Amino acid sequence: KQEVTQIPAALSVPEGENLVLNCSFTDSAIYNLQWFRQDPGKGLTSLLLIQSSQREQTSGRLNASLDKSSGRSTLYIAASQPGDSATYLCAPVLEEAEKLVFGKGTKLTVNP
Amino acid sequence: KAGVTQTPRYLIKTRGQQVTLSCSPISGHRSVSWYQQTPGQGLQFLFEYFSETQRNKGNFPGRFSGRQFSNSRSEMNVSTLELGDSALYLCASSLDRGYGGYTFGSGTRLTVV
């Protein structure tokens, strides 16, 4: 059974800091991995998708890396802004199943 | 292009009733998945449909069911509602097996009283 762990569970930083969110998963037989953000009471917004054959993906101030063999992914956020405040979720997709498996997420607060 | 549309946005139901939620995927997407989100359990997979067939099912009781129509729109049904069914229900669409990633709708907030 795939288990996903995200560290830290919560993070509070001042505006402008660079930060790293960590995700680990137990089953490395994944098809791809997706990072999402969720604002309170809202749906999930996709941030980055990394295919299993890729090492990293970048979009603006966001960079995600994937080490499939060790079961780890990292989301790097540069020059954080108050608008980045949200819960960040990582979700690998198992090769054997057509579904996302989610961690509990990291709740990020960026203070002005 | 239009995103994933879920209706209704909010629902209040009484214990014992049943409810039907609807999801319209992105045009061209044939896979629709459903997830339940609660504060205690987080996001949990309910089921996934592709070309009108259920391909995968999570660990939920039989009161939770779904279907997919020929136009890829999907519905999920919960019968004999319990207080614990109160949750945010999210629908996600993809081309197939997450190819190109999943896109989520805004969800349906179900409250059972």
pLDDT at B1 over 90: no
pLDDT at residue number A2: 85
> Which of B9, B50, B60, B102 is the best mutation test for A, with the most CBs of A within 10 A?
B102
Position with higher pLDDT, A109 vs B98: A109
- Closest Cα in chain B, distance from residue A69 (Å): 20
Q: In this model, does residue A98 exceed pLDDT 80? A: no
Average pLDDT over residues A41-69: 94
Q: Is B104 on the interface with A (CB under 8 A)?
A: yes
Q: What is the pLDDT of residue A58?
A: 96
**What is the rounded distance in angstroms from the CA atom of residue B108 to the CA atom of residue B80?**
18
| pLDDT reported for residue B94 | 92
> For B102-111, how does the pLDDT look when each residue is reduced to its tens digit (9 = 90+)?
999 999 999 9
Residue A95 scores a pLDDT above 90: no
Please give the DSSP secondary-structure letter assigned to residue A100: B
Per-residue pLDDT reduced to its tens digit, A36-52: 999 998 899 999 999 98
Cβ contact (<8 Å) for B56 and A43?
no
In chain A, which residues have their Cβ closer than 8 Å to the Cβ of B107?
42-43
**Lookup result for tokens 């049943």:** B18
- The predicted pLDDT at position B27 comes to 94
CB contact under 8 A, B42 and A102: yes
Average pLDDT over residues B36-53: 94
With CB atoms and an 8 Å threshold, state whether A93 touches B92. no
Give the residue from B42, B38, B28, B45 showing the smallest Cα distance to B91.
B45
Residue B99: its pLDDT value, please? 76
The percent of residues in chain A predicted with pLDDT above 70, rounded, is: 100
SS (H, E, C) chain B: CCCCEEECCEEEECCCCCEEEEEECCCCCCEEEEEEEECCCEEEEEEEEECCEEEEECCCCCCEEEEECCCCCEEEEECCCCHHHCEEEEEEEECCCCCCCCEECCCEEEEEC
**Peptide linkage before B8 cis (omega within 30 of 0):** yes
Residue B112 has pLDDT above 90, yes or no: yes
The reply to whether residue A89 touches residue B43, judged by beta carbons under 8 angstroms, is: yes
pLDDT-derived band of residue A28, with 50, 70 and 90 as boundaries? confident
Q: Provide the mean pLDDT of chain A.
A: 94
